[in-house]
Structure 1
Amino acid sequence: MDKNRVVALSDGVIAIIMTIMVLELKTPISGGWNALLDDKFVLISYVISFTATYYFWTVHHDLFKSFDKIPINSAWINAIYLLTLSFLPFTTSWVGRFLWAVPAELTYSVNFLLITATTLWFEHTIKQDLIHVHQAIPETVLKSSRLLKLTLLLNFICCLITYLWAPTGIIAVAVILTVWIWRSVSSAAHEYSQNK
């Protein structure tokens, strides 16, 4: 399959997901700070989910760098990945409005678990495709794979803990994102200093 078509479709779907998330934000009912504070959990869940979507987009971008043409199995796994990602506006809105509700938190956590699992599945398939055509697996893919495996385990544990204390789900996602961003920025800084 033509890489540009798959990437364009994926970028479009991800852009729509981010747009839907921002459209879920409602203007406060008054002009005071208290009205904004009333929606603090909605805003926090939006920032966390937007940042996560951006991170998953960068991982997605790195995965496609290795190919000129996308094997059909990878294109289908990409569609499943986009499907799991497309639930994020719904789960974000729900958890933002009902932070202390176990069903909302659990659904949000399971959504991240599924996104992470499909990203890992996608990475695994791409690695197999690269091995099949005797291409080297990029270092960024290998590093990302290790981090995503750890994330998958942490997401699973957090899904279980959410039954005991509902906000565990969104807190865990925020902590995991912080680690992802820190790792990404420190890795980029290291590469920059090496290339000077």
Structure 2
Amino acid sequence: MKKSRLEAFTDGVIAVIITIMVLELKTPAEPTWPELLKSWPVFLSYILSFIYVGIYWNNHHHMLQLVKRINGKAMWANLFFLFSLSLLPFATAWLNEAHPHPALVPTIFYGFILFLTAVSWVPLSRSLIEANGGADCELAEALGSDWKGRSSIVIYAIAIVLAIYNPIISCVLYAVVAALWFIPDRRIESRLLDK
């Protein structure tokens, strides 16, 4: 099967996710700068969530540049990935309700959604590798051991546990993972430059 429908569908779902996130932003109660400044934690969590969606969209795009075909497994794996990512607006909105400081349960839930989305990336990449020739395909060679993916999952798990002690530390760790992925995956970009 060709990958074009999967790409188009994913782009559409991601656009809807971003739209829902921005619609969740509430306007200040009064039309003043101080009232707007009170909302800085809300904007910060929105920016972090937007960056996460952008990172996944960017890396999804790069990953699909190295594949020629998809199969049923890849389609279902992509749906699992999109399902996980689609929960991010809800998790962000819940995290924002407790501002100016993140509350325990919403912080854990936000981390769990990030964890789930990172985990969902594993079967997606593996199914795309399988559909394109297995371990010898270009995507498999580009991803290699995927230390960033595995490290992200571990950091999310640690952050979820640390939320019990201090939710702010967890939110900082969520931002650290975003910083780790902010630059598009060079392993794939280098392969695309060679073409």
CA contact (8 A) 2:111 2:159 kept: yes
Mind listing any 5+ residue stretches in structure 1 that lack a counterpart? Answer: none
1:24-63 to 2 correspondences below 5 Å:
24-63=24-63
Q: 1:126 aligns with which of 112, 125, 128?
A: 128
SS at match of 2:144: helix
Within the alignment, does 1:148 sit opposite 2:157 as a pair?
A: no
Residue-pair matches, total: 189
Deviation, 1:4, is 1.0
Deviation, 1:3, is 1.2
Question: Identity percentage over the alignment?
Answer: 26
| TM-score, length basis structure 2 | 0.86
Deviation, 1:173, is 1.2
| TM-score, length basis structure 1 | 0.86
1:25-174 to 2 correspondences below 5 Å:
25-98=25-98, 99-132=101-134, 135-137=137-139, 140-142=142-144, 145-174=146-175
1:135-154 CA-to-partner distances (Å, cap 9, x unmatched) read 333665337x2211100011
Q: CA RMSD in A?
A: 2.5
Deviation, 1:68, is 2.8
Name the aligned partner's letter for residue 164 of structure 1. Y
CA contact (8 A) 1:44 1:96 kept: no
Deviation, 1:122, is 1.3
CA distance in 2, matches of 1:154, 1:27: 33
CA contact (8 A) 2:63 2:139 kept: no
Shift in CA distance, 172/64, structure 1 to aligned 2, threshold 3 Å: same
Deviation, 1:128, is 3.0
Name the aligned partner's letter for residue 106 of structure 2. A
1:180 maps to 181
CA distance in 1, matches of 2:104, 2:36: 24
SS at match of 1:167: helix
Query: Which 4+ stretches in 1 moved above 6 angstroms?
Result: none
SS at match of 1:155: helix
